[in-house]
Amino acid sequence: MVAFTEESDRSGLGFSNEGAAMRQLDMFSQPKKAALKQAGGCDITPVGKRRDGGTRYWCLTHKADATAKYGRPAMACRAAHLPPILPHEILDLDLDQYPGGVGLWGAVPPVYDTTRLPLDFGIHVHARRDSDGDKHIDTTYRAVRLIGHQLPTEGLLISEIDAVYYMVSSVFGFDMRDVRCTIVDIRILTKTGSASTRTADISAQVAARILAIRLLGSEILFAQHKKP
Show pLDDT as tens, one digit a residue, over the chain (228 residues).
Answer: 333 333 333 333 333 323 322 223 233 333 333 333 434 589 999 988 888 888 999 888 887 889 998 889 999 998 888 888 899 999 999 999 999 999 988 888 888 889 888 888 889 999 999 989 999 999 999 999 999 988 888 888 888 877 877 777 778 887 766 666 665 555 544 444 333 333 333 333 332 233 223 322 233 333 333 333
Tell me: the pLDDT tens digits for 109-154?
A: 888 889 888 888 889 999 999 989 999 999 999 999 999 988 888 8
User: Phi and psi for 67 in degrees, rounded to 5?
Assistant: -100, 125
Using DSSP's 3-state secondary structure scheme, residue 160 falls into: helix
Quick check: 17 and 200 in contact, CB under 8 A? no
> 189 CB contacts (<8 Å, ≥6 apart)?
2, 3, 4, 5, 12, 14, 15, 19, 166, 176, 177, 178, 179, 198
pTM: 0.57
